[in-house]
Each structure stands twice: as C-alpha cells, then as structure tokens.
Amino acid sequence: MKMTFRWFGEKSDRITLQQIKQIPGMTGIMGVLDEKAAGEVWLAEEIRAYVENVHAAGLECEVIESVNVHEDIKMGLPARDEYIENYRATVRNLARYGVKVIVYNFMPVFDWLRTDLARVTPEDGSNSLYFDEADLGRMSPLEIVRRTAEESNGFTLPGWEPARLAELERTLRQYEGMTGDMLRENMRYFLDAVIPVCEECGVKLACHPDDPAWPVFGLPRIAHSQADFERILALRESPSNTVCLCTGSLGSDPENDIPAAIRRFGRMGRIGCLHVRNVKYLGTHRFREASHLSCEGSLDLYEIMRAVYETCPDAYIRPDHGRMIWGESGRPGYGLYDRALGAVYLCGLWEAIEKGEKR
C-alpha cells in the first residue's frame, strides 16, 4: 500500500508539500494541474515542473487525478475526436514523467454534488460536506452551482465557475434524451481510443464513481454500483482499464457492499487506486461525510483495508475528504488536519492487519 495525499498544486492549494511530507506514513501525492480545462493538452513542460517540485519535497508523484473528459466526448459530438487526441497526448506526457495512474470520471455535466459544503455536526462543532436529496429537489442545477460557489471559500464546482453558467444551461439541454446505454457507448468510444495509448505507456486509467451514487437532475449516470463497474471494465478488457475505488462515493448508497467490490476488482487486478473515507447515513439519499473512523460513520474501514490487503496490497491509497476541524477553513473536503488524521488511522489499520496476518 502506498499512502498518498491529494494536492492541487502551489497556485491553488494552501497546503504545502512540506506539510504533506510531515504526515506520518506519507509517500507521495495524488496530483492535479488544477488550472487545466477539460479537453486541453497538459504540456510536457508544465508536468515536468509540477513533478520536479513534488520530488524536491521528497514525495512521489505517480497518480494524477482529474484529467477531465471533455463534455463533447461524453455527449458523442463530432468535436470529440480532437479532444480524444488531446487526451492521448496528455497520457503520453504524464507517462514521460513517471505517472502510473490517471484518474478520470464520466459523469455528465457535474462532478461531485453536495447540498451543503459546511454542515455543522452539533456534537463537536466540526463541519463537513452533506447531501440531502430533498434539498436538491428544491434547487435547480443553476442554483446549486451558484450556492456552491458562494459557500466554498472561493472554490467552485469543477468546471463551473459562475462565468460559465449560461453554458451550463445549454449543456443540460444537450443531454436531454440521452440514456445510460448511449452514454456507455460514448465511453466505449473513448476507451477504445485512449486505452491502447495507456497500454503502450504502462499507465492505468482509473474511472472514479459517480458521487453521490445515483443519477441527479435526470442526467444519465453509469458508474455507481459494482454491476456498473463490471460493465465499464468489460467495455475494454485491458489491465489499463481500471477503477478508482472511492469508498465514500460508492458508499453513499448503502446498497453497495464496498469490501466485496474491492475484493472483486482487486482480484481481477483492475483497481488503479483507492480513495478511502467514511460516510454517515442519515436517511434515504441523505448523508454527511464523517471522520475516517469506523465507529463514527456507516462504513467498516477495517473490512475495507482488509479487502485491500488481501487482493491489491500494492495499491495507491489516499484519505479522501476530511471534515473541517480545529478552526481550519479552506477548500471544502480538502483541509489538512482531518485528512492527516485519516491517513494515520488507515496506516494504523494496515499495520494491525499486516502484523495479525504474519503472526
């Protein structure tokens, strides 16, 4: 297991590489070039500068996240071929600088969605990301984008800066009538073009689940259950076509058995990396993000780490979203303190599992 930490880069992350390096057990980052728009080529020079910076801090940079898929690819529009060509170029450039896993998602229009980015937990005064389908039902897509921008300390929903709201309406209209099967065929087209390049470069492409794990605003979504991922992996049989197993995203639906999904895809050799965090169920389609500890959420983190240990022990892992504690403010879900606590807890579980096994 390689413990890593998400880092957004010097320009858009207040957390420094040195702070990350000081977290016990930390070996590397899961990086992102935050200023790149979907569809743009990540240039070799930009990647080199980023990776060298990470290496200089004594950390590895073998996983890159959010190489976002342009909406035209998901919609199957004629311009997709040009964007796919750009994606292939980005994969080659990342591989040149030692990147082994690239995380993407295939969610139409929205990346993750929450109805409250700073829901206070009355018991201890911390706050965390929260979702309630009933609240979402009262909001239009435009409203939720606007609210997210207002509540997120200057950060916006990925790709939806307030300046692009007019475009959002147009994009939503373009998805009208698209079914899951149609979206899956567009994904197949994308994978058929990109996976061969990944194979050539020794890179794993890892699909992140829908978050939350069900369709929103009537948009099709095809990556929120074990059965969905069986289909995604079957779209192109290749060790490069993998899952980014995000326990909190898949786990937002209590129907998903997370340890079972890890064991299944781990045994297949098809887990590119994992995001590990906990969620607390508060009702139907209603949850908040809890601390990482099993006793504070609804997921069994011990069983999750056991499943990793048993089936994909060399996987890259990062603590996923944390709460805001100790007066910290910053990018919702991505503060320093609670994620650091999460990382150390996961390392502790790992040590206990490993030593227990060797006894």
Site for Mn ion, rule CB under 5 A: 246, 275, 320
We find the least distance from the C-beta atom of residue 165 to Mn ion, in angstroms, to be 25
Question: Of 221 and 275, which CB lies nearer to Mn ion in the complex structure?
Answer: 275
We find the least distance from the C-beta atom of residue 318 to Mn ion, in angstroms, to be 9
Q: How many residues does the chain have?
A: 359
We find the least distance from the C-beta atom of residue 250 to Mn ion, in angstroms, to be 9
Report in angstroms the alpha-carbon separations of 311 from 20, 102, 308, 314, 337.
27, 21, 5, 9, 30
Whether 42 and 52 have beta carbons less than 8 Å apart is answered as: no
Q: Which of 293, 270, 289 is nearest to 281 (CA)?
A: 289
Beta strands in the chain (DSSP E): 2-7, 28-31, 60-64, 101-105, 116-120, 127-132, 204-208, 241-246, 271-276, 279-283, 286-289, 316-319
| Ramachandran sector of residue 163 (left: φ over 0; alpha: ψ -120 to 50; beta: rest) | alpha
Question: Of 93 and 128, which CB lies nearer to Mn ion in the complex structure?
Answer: 128
We find the least distance from the C-beta atom of residue 79 to Mn ion, in angstroms, to be 28
Whether 329 and 286 have beta carbons less than 8 Å apart is answered as: no
Q: How far, in Å, CA of 275 to CA of 249, rounded?
A: 9
Please identify the residue of the shown chain whose CB is closest to the bound Mn ion. Answer: 246
Question: Of 30 and 172, which CB lies nearer to Mn ion in the complex structure?
Answer: 30
Question: Of 263 and 275, which CB lies nearer to Mn ion in the complex structure?
Answer: 275
Q: How far, in Å, CA of 263 to CA of 207, rounded?
A: 17
We find the least distance from the C-beta atom of residue 317 to Mn ion, in angstroms, to be 11
Question: Of 15 and 317, which CB lies nearer to Mn ion in the complex structure?
Answer: 317
Q: How far, in Å, CA of 72 to CA of 87, rounded?
A: 13
We find the least distance from the C-beta atom of residue 84 to Mn ion, in angstroms, to be 24
Question: Of 26 and 201, which CB lies nearer to Mn ion in the complex structure?
Answer: 26
